[in-house]
Structures are given as structure tokens and as C-alpha cells.
Structure 1
Amino acid sequence: MAQNRELSSEEREELLGTLKARFDKNKKRHEGLDWSAVQAKLEANPEKLWSLHEMESTGGEPDVVALDQESGEYIFFDCAAESPKGRRSVCYDREGLESRKDFAPENNAVDWAADMGIELLSEEDYRRLQTLGNFDTKTSSWIQTPASIRKLGGALFGDFRYGTVFIYHNGAQSYYAARGFRGSLSV
């Protein structure tokens, strides 16, 4: 899918303003980090800004959750309270999508994330996200699935119920109006 992966100056400024406001409002997600350093890194990586714009425009509300000390990269997660509204009703991957006989959704989580330039959250990432607040209390999100599970037709998703993070399985071909996917991006 060929598309323009550059933001206009207006889109860039609007996105940076949104990200800064979210950064300032949610300091507990990234204690000790400085917005000016994050912004400098973003401005030096326009392709990453495009991916963050995609995360934002589909309802992900991306925010900085860490600084990787080894790589020096800032890590963004989708921090919307519920699974991003613009990324729901999708199968797990292309194979799951193609295996549906009837009522196939328009997309799948793995390919869509790749098109956006982001990665699905791993189980470790998902559990880490849940330490920053209560996410997916009414929805669920597909997460990276080990090849051994995927080979058998399954895929993993997570949610937060009864004060607990749950990681479940489902057929990779399944999709629900309340299940989408969350992503991560390193800049």
C-alpha cells in the first residue's frame, strides 16, 4: 500500500502539540524524562512522526512510557483507555483473515501495525502498560503471539478485569467489535 509517509508542517505542529500536552498531563508514565529531548528526537525522525500520527489518528493516544538506556530511544505505547477505536474488529494476522469463510473483516492486526510502522505490544509490554493505569477495562487488544501458539491456529490478547491483567487465547481468525490492537514505537 503506497502512501505518503510525510506530514505537512501543520500536521507535524499539531501532532507535536498533542503529544506535548499528553506528556505534560501524564508525567507518571515517564518520570524524569524531558519533553524537549523527546521533541528533538521526533523532529530528527520524520518517519516516526508519521507513525505516531497514524497511532493518534486511529485513537491510540500514544505517549512516552520509557527511555531505553541501551539504545537511547524513547518508547511510545498506545495509551488510550480502551483499545484504539479506529483499529478494532480485526483478525490477528493475514493467515487468520484468509481462513475466514464468511464475514471477513477488512484488515488484520499484524499487517495493519506493520503498515503503520509500529509493533504489536508483546505480553511483557502489555503488562508494563497496565502498571501505568487501567487499560482495556471494556475492550481487549491483540498482542504478539509466540510462533508455537500461532502454528496451532491461536493468537493472544489481553484485557484488564476484576483488578487483574488477563492474557487469553482465541482463534486467530476471530474478531470482535471490542477487540483491536495496541502498538509500540521506538524513536
Structure 2
Amino acid sequence: MAKNKELNPEQIEELIRILKNRFEKNMNRHQSIEWSSIQEKLNPEYAAKKLWSLLEMERTGGEPDVVGYDEKTGEYIFVDCSAESPLDRRSVCYDREALESRKKFKPENNALDMAADMGIKILSEEQYRALQQVGNFDTKTSSWIITPPDIRNLGGALFCDRRYNTVFVYHNGADSYYAARGFRGVLKV
């Protein structure tokens, strides 16, 4: 992961070009939203940290795109829209407690810490289901989602995928990790 959380002008220009192209190719995800309004929010003068987070989402294979607008906060909602769980965020357990509890074969990282380091949040079940309304995601992989404390306190964690044209929510030990399971993030800008 990049240590320097500041982007140079070339990185910003390239990121905005990528985001704009993806936005224009996937209008079904944001039919009533205009790119010009989003580009205003991506001004480096006041969105430098958000731009860095979007670049991290892109760098790790998330293919972030706008999927909505939060009328309460006036922010656009970017979510990882890669067809499968982002490649460079797979093979991680759920959280630090789960990582530290493993005695053997520990994964390199955990989903909650990775998301926090990137400046994003992991999708909730509601957000995951909303994402599935604009496309078919995780048909071969799965993604950790925010787990309610009562489940996590008992050692479990939740993940989702899409199979048989249906979104499924499953449980697993929070310390489990698989090559086909990662996490999707959300960032409001």
C-alpha cells in the first residue's frame, strides 16, 4: 500500500480520467447523476484524501464507480464495482482480533484494517444488496460485509455473494480466509 497519501497532478488527472470513463460506460449505475457534479466534488483543494482513497480502491482492483447520492450529506457514493471481489484484497480474514487469534497459517492482513488504511468502509448488507441492483457482482467470489456485534462477539463474521441470480448472506469464523473472498468498499465524496 502507498505510504504517501498525497497525489501528484498527473496521478489526479489519470484517476479522474479513469473514473469519468467508467462513469460514462456504466450509466445504469447512476442514471440521474451528471458527471460535472461529481467532478466538482473531486476538486483536489478539498478532496485530496478522498482522491487518495479512490486511487487505493482502483489500485487494489476495486474499479470504484458512483452508485448513488446521499441527499442528507450531499455526497456521492462510490463503491467497488469490479465484477469479482477486488483481487488485491482477497485472502484476508475479517478483523485484527481474528488475525491475532490464528495460531497457524495467518493471512497477511484483515479486511477491516485494510479498509481503514485505505480510508474507506466495508459494505453493509444493505449496501451490498443495493450494489447488486445495478449489476451482477461476486458470481465467482465472495466479499466480507460489516458484521453485527452480537455475531462478531461469538467469533463469526458475515460475507455475501451472488449465485443462481440471488444474493446470499453467509457466516464463517472471522478468522477464516479464502483465495476467493475479499471485501468491497464504499466511500462518500
Q: TM-score range by the shorter chain?
A: over 0.9
Pairwise CA RMSD? 1.1
TM-score when normalising by structure 1 = 0.98
Runs of 4+ in 1 over 6 A off after TM superposition: none
Say if 2:174 is the partner of 1:172: yes
TM-score, normalised to structure 2's length?
A: 0.97
Aligned length: 187
Unaligned 5+ runs, structure 1: none
Deviation at 1:2, TM superposition (A): 9.1
The Cα offsets for residues 97-147 of structure 1, whole Å up to 9 and x where unpaired, read as 011111101100000000000000000000000001110000000000000
Cross-structure match for 1:21 = 21
Written as runs of structure 1 = structure 2, the 5 A alignment for 1:134-173 is: 134-173=136-175
Matching residue's letter, 1:89? S
Structure 2 match to 1:59: 61
Residues 144-175 of structure 1, C-alpha deviation per residue, up to 9 Å, x if partnerless? 00000000000000000011100000000000
Q: Secondary structure at the match of 1:45?
A: helix
1:184 maps to what in 2?
Answer: 186
Equivalent AA in structure 1 for residue 6 of structure 2: E
Aligned counterpart, 1:114: 116
In structure 2, C-alpha distance between the alignment counterparts of 1:57 and 1:66, rounded to whole Å: 22
- Following superposition, the deviation at residue 3 of structure 1 comes to 2.5
Aligned residues: percent identity?
A: 69
Classify the secondary structure of the residue corresponding to 2:112: helix
Residue type at the aligned position of 1:27: M
Q: Which runs of 5+ in 2 are unaligned?
A: none
* CA distance 1:36–1:177, shift in 2 (3 Å): same
